[in-house]
């Protein structure tokens, strides 16, 4: 996900929070397609959950591999050390497998997993008492800002890079719940409803978090 997309979300204050910001203009048939897509995703998730409960290690490993990169990068937003972030994700999945026979996620499986990783990351931070111990080896600012080495945002002029750096600082300064809601919405393509399920709040509360986060970023960039 590019830093440019973050900027587009911030500047487009009227974008619909019920869908991902890169979804483009409203399509008259989009609601039907979204409903069909949601039904298909729910069916696939139900199949995965059933396979895990049966002890299907192949299906479990495939599920783990499919989501691992997105999840450890999400954990990295809380605990900025790659090894610790990856350990957090591995610990979450180990806990799932240990209790696979009774594995029963509430709501969306994807939202449930992201929520479990967030909770584990916050637990690790509480145990450490401070985040400083995690940055001794240096923080990958581009990764924290959602910019990868092959991202066009990484190869822009100095002024634009400074803008992205400023945006990164504003994002990291947001209250944790606002920041998490925005990261899930922008970088992980979650709707407000999915964000709400991940954070254990209503879709309306998630929408308010996202909007407040956008407003704070917009004000920060305007100063």
Indicate the pTM of the whole model. Answer: 0.73
User: Position of tokens 């299906």?
Assistant: 59
What tokens were used for 123?
A: 């637990």
CA distances from 199 to 54, 164, 209 (A): 28, 27, 11
pLDDT of 21: 52
Closest by CA to 87, choosing from 95, 60, 215, 129, is 95
DSSP letters for 2-65: -HHHHHHHHH-TT--TTS-GGG-SPPTTHHHHHHHHHHHHHHHHHHHHHHHHTT-HHHHHHHHH
Closest by CA to 111, choosing from 212, 175, 192, 208, is 192
Closest by CA to 165, choosing from 185, 139, 203, is 139
Closest by CA to 196, choosing from 205, 183, 185, 188, is 205
pLDDT tens-digit profile of 125-135?
888 765 555 54
Q: Report the share of the chain in percent with pLDDT over 70.
A: 72
pLDDT tens-digit profile of 193-215?
999 999 999 999 999 999 999 99
What tokens were used for 176?
A: 């944790």
3-state DSSP call for residue 20?
Answer: coil
CA–CA separation, 89 vs 179, rounded Å?
A: 19
CA–CA separation, 198 vs 209, rounded Å?
A: 13
CA–CA separation, 120 vs 47, rounded Å?
A: 25
- The mean per-residue pLDDT over the stretch 8-13 comes to 74
Q: Which CATH architecture has domain 3-20+29-222?
A: Up-down Bundle (1.20)
pLDDT tens-digit profile of 138-161?
445 555 545 444 455 455 567 777
* pLDDT band per the 50, 70, 90 thresholds, residue 38: very low
């Amino acid at each position: 996900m590019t830093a440019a997309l973050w900027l587009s979300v911030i500047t487009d204050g009227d974008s619909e929070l019920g869908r991902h910001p890169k979804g483009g203009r409203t399509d008259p048939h989009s609601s039907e397609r979204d409903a069909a897509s949601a039904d298909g995703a729910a069916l696939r998730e139900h199949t995965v959950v059933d396979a895990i409960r049966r002890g299907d290690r192949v299906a479990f490993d495939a599920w783990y591999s499919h989501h691992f990169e997105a999840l450890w990068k999400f954990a990295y937003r809380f605990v900025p050390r790659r090894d610790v972030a990856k350990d957090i994700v591995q610990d979450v999945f180990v806990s799932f497998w240990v209790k696979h026979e009774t594995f029963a996620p509430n709501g969306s499986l994807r939202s449930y997993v992201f929520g479990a990783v967030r909770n584990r990351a916050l637990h690790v931070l509480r145990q450490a008492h401070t985040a400083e111990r995690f940055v001794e080896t240096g923080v990958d600012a581009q990764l924290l800002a959602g910019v990868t080495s092959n991202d066009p945002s990484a190869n822009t002029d100095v002024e634009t890079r400074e803008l992205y750096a400023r945006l990164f600082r504003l994002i990291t300064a947001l209250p944790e719940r606002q920041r998490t809601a925005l990261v899930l919405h922008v970088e992980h393509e979650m709707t407000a409803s999915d964000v709400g399920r991940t954070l254990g709040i209503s879709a309306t509360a998630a929408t308010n978090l996202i909007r407040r986060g956008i407003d704070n970023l917009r004000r920060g960039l305007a100063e």
